[in-house]
A and B are shown apart, each in its own frame.
Chain A
Amino acid sequence: MIRKELVAASAEPLILSLLAKGESYGYAIIQEIKVRSRDQMQWTDGMLYPVLHRMENKGWIKSRWAESENGRKRKYYSLKKDGKQALEKHHEQWNIVHSVLSGLRKEQYV
């Protein structure tokens, strides 16, 4: 299981990356992260929504209510232009962390 601090730090880039593929809603986002991480990333479901609302306040994403296939109303989120820029920044920063970590790991085996 991945440490909760790392899960928290990766929440925004992961949400932005998922929304870059197309609009989605809270429950589907959680399910997709669960599947992709093979259950290694445990999100507290209720905590996703404050993160989504904060990202909306920042102007990264926008939301709209729409009726789902089962007739229930769902709030769909999609990426805005600022969100794409924020995602690029996140990618740059995570790449730096990844390259530093990989470089140090390689040096251990030299």
Chain B
Amino acid sequence: MFNLDQAVTHWRRQMTAAGLQTPDVLNELEGHLREDVAARVSAGTPEADAFQLAVSRIGSPDSVGLEFNKLCSLPDGYVTVGSILWLAASATLAIFLSRGLFAGRLSLLLSAHVFTLTTGYGTALLAGLFGIFYVCCRSFRALSPAGQQGLVGAVRLANQSAMLLVALGLILGLVWSKQNLGGYLVAGPREIGTLCASLWLLTWWLIQRFGQLGDRFTMLFSIAGNMIVGMAWFGAGILADNPDLHSYGIAGVWPLALFMGFHLLFLVMGAAPGPENTETQIGG
């Protein structure tokens, strides 16, 4: 004697074994299965046959499991880790600057300028790192469509934040320059570098906001952004009168050249034709 509940339980076990572990998804699929069985039974099909037909309409556990696994958000963890590292670095910088502020070595304006500009550059570099991560994942087809969406969303958010922080840092720097050096713009390499980085981030944001920038180009722009920020931050530092100030260990030309070469490599890899994520093939 056919028992529908037992058959459904067995079918759920097969789905679970195929990787469908989420109760919400299983409940939804079970609901669909039961509706289909009920409709077929009311049309005169015996319950056992109706169940078999309904199961075959849903598809094999492996194929359904595979499609749902494509939705898993692989980079969510990486985005979280990156965000936590960013917050930790920003908090450390804030503590470091506040110590200088309270000791009277730094003014509030200068501290705010250094904080916003450094976190802005750091945020832009984080977006570039996500871009490099995307290129690596793309090469190994390790990114689900949902994961890709998450990563692209994180890069867009990072770019917008970086644009606002760098612009604010630039304005604060100009005001500080007016107060301490007698003019808003002294046309030093660091100022020009910051202006270039601001313009780049603004342009990128405008293209995203009003243009049609696909996921891959968003990621490639983020890697190219790292090169611009690298030049604006470290490259300008090399050209400045006091190159050791804010050099962060990248004082010579070679470390910067290596930095550029590393990013260029990933730009080329990302620009090359490669496997793209496939959408769910709903057609039977």
Contact = CB atoms under 8 A, between A and B. Distances in A.
A54 B146 CA distance: 7
B145 interface: yes
A47 B281 contact: yes
A44 B71 contact: no
- Give the top 8 A-B pairs by smallest Cβ distance, nearest first: A4-B283, A7-B283, A46-B59, A46-B58, A50-B67, A46-B64, A44-B284, A42-B284
A50 B70 contact: yes
A11 B282 CA distance: 7
A72 B32 CA distance: 10
A45 B57 contact: yes
A45 B36 contact: yes
A44 B68 CA distance: 14
A75 interface: yes
Given A26-B28, A73-B27, A57 B149 contact: yes
Given A11-B282, A43-B283, A50-B71, A74 B31 contact: yes
Contacts of A44: 57-59, 63, 282-284
A75 to B, nearest CB: 5
Given A27-B32, A44-B57, A45-B36, A5 B71 contact: no
A51 interface: yes
Interface string A44-81: 11111111011001100000000000101111000000
Contacts of A72: 31, 34-35
Nearest to A28: B35
Contacts of B38: 70
Contacts of A42: 283-284
A74 B30 CA distance: 10
A3 interface: yes
Contact of B58 (A3, A45, A54, A75): A45
Interface in B6-38: 24-25, 27-29, 31-32, 34-36, 38
Given A43-B282, A44-B282, A49 B25 contact: yes
Contacts of B280: 8, 11, 47, 50-51, 54
18 contacts: A4-B284, A5-B283, A7-B283, A8-B281, A27-B35, A43-B284, A44-B284, A45-B36, A45-B57, A46-B63, A49-B25, A50-B71, A50-B280, A53-B68, A54-B146, A57-B71, A72-B34, A73-B31
Contacts of A41: 283
